[in-house]
């Protein structure tokens, strides 16, 4: 049997072991990832990516835009959206503060 080859997350072996026949038994069941209906998972760095995108596209006006979005979301009343835009508005303010002055 040759050495195992690691490709990504799977390990492939050149020759299968002789004592273990292949293809017998039920297929392994993959664990299902449960996500609530209609929700988008928020990955790491999503707030920073969105804040940087706003600052890149709107420049110093990004802070006003983020605050306006926060106010309109507050009127709509969705708690998760409110928290999302509060975080983005705070991050945008920090990024705009760090912008070099022209």
Domain extents in the chain: 44-102
Q: What distances in angstroms separate CA 16 from CA 2, 7, 38, one per listed residue?
A: 10, 17, 44
Angle at 60 between CA 58 and CA 62, to 5 degrees: 50
Taking the whole predicted model, whether its pTM rises above 0.95 is answered as no
Q: How confident is the model over 25-81, as pLDDT tens digits?
A: 566 666 665 544 445 555 668 999 999 999 999 998 999 999 999 999 999 888 888
């Amino acid at each position: 049997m040759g050495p195992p080859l690691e490709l990504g997350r799977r390990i492939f072996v050149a020759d299968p072991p002789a004592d273990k026949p292949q293809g017998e038994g039920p297929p392994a069941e993959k664990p299902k990832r449960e996500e609530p209906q209609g929700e988008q998972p928020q990955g790491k760095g999503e707030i920073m990516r969105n804040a940087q995108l706003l600052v890149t596209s709107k420049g110093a006006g990004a802070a006003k835009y983020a605050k306006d979005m926060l106010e309109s979301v507050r009127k709509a009343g969705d708690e998760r959206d409110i928290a999302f835009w509060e975080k983005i508005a705070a991050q945008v303010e920090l990024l705009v503060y760090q912008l070099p002055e022209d």
